[in-house]
Structure 1
């Protein structure tokens, strides 16, 4: 079960997360022509019912970038970051931070969709490349609302198969400003086991040395 992942398994997912973060930072640096770094401080497993409190409470205004992953490990992915940080990130791409200081208009939304596409795409690529599992992603959609509304709308159809999510914390730094965000990876039934086995830490494993896993 997803809620019973071992520290070794969480560490493996964090390792993939760091690879995705590095790839995203490289692409964003080239796009923005600015130095961008991105790290993964922590990976957690949480019930979706507790996710709102984990990211600041159900009434916290957030921007969410959402996509569906198809292929060998079908899943859902959601990237959440605070409204004020979204405005800062949009300003970097538009190259006019003052214009994006207090309004999320069409231009800002377009910029965030492009950046969200880069961020989520980098993570899908990292998981696919690192595991060898074929993964294809849908075109990301963007939502701007209170975090409770975003989670209820996007994840409402998950039912019992999505009671828990892997939450990958991220920290993006550009122009001496830090942007804390959260990736929600919600695997379909069986997908997490497929990913873990490809990472060499399938359910029951206690090490990554290549020795036989306990049955």
Structure 2
């Protein structure tokens, strides 16, 4: 244990030890809900390092953890080699660069299968239905009641809650236009719509 602690605090491993503590602190904040795992995606371009496909925080954490492990292993081997302090220090500089390179290469291999867990396309939103035509599926629609069937742009269908603020007749089977979404009430505002005007018809 004493050898391990000494190596962790010795150059070059100490640099990665500090970075690893920052990474551990960040993921602790994520677990507590105080930070988002993809919060750095707009600030750093991981594609430039060929580490795209996963949040920057994931790829950076992998690089730091792997570099720390590679540096720790190399430092232990150097400490047991019996070489002079000057040679060990010189090789420590080489080990610093080598650890980063190895960590980067291994991370590149790991992020490819991990990228499948982080799709590029945003999750579907109810706002995607705004501006689409719908078919009324209840006998009436007023300010407190109504349902309609809407076909999403990807071809899937959904039954949504709809309301209208006017006295226009929206009966079963009639066509309406979803023109706004009420987040508080979780329903769409709908107005009568001529199906012939639907560009998808």
TM bin, normalised by shorter chain, reads: under 0.3
> Highest Rg: 1 or 2?
2
Q: Which structure is higher in RCO with an 8 Å CA cutoff and minimum separation 6?
A: 1
Q: Taking structure 2 as the reference length, what is the TM-score of the superposition?
A: 0.25
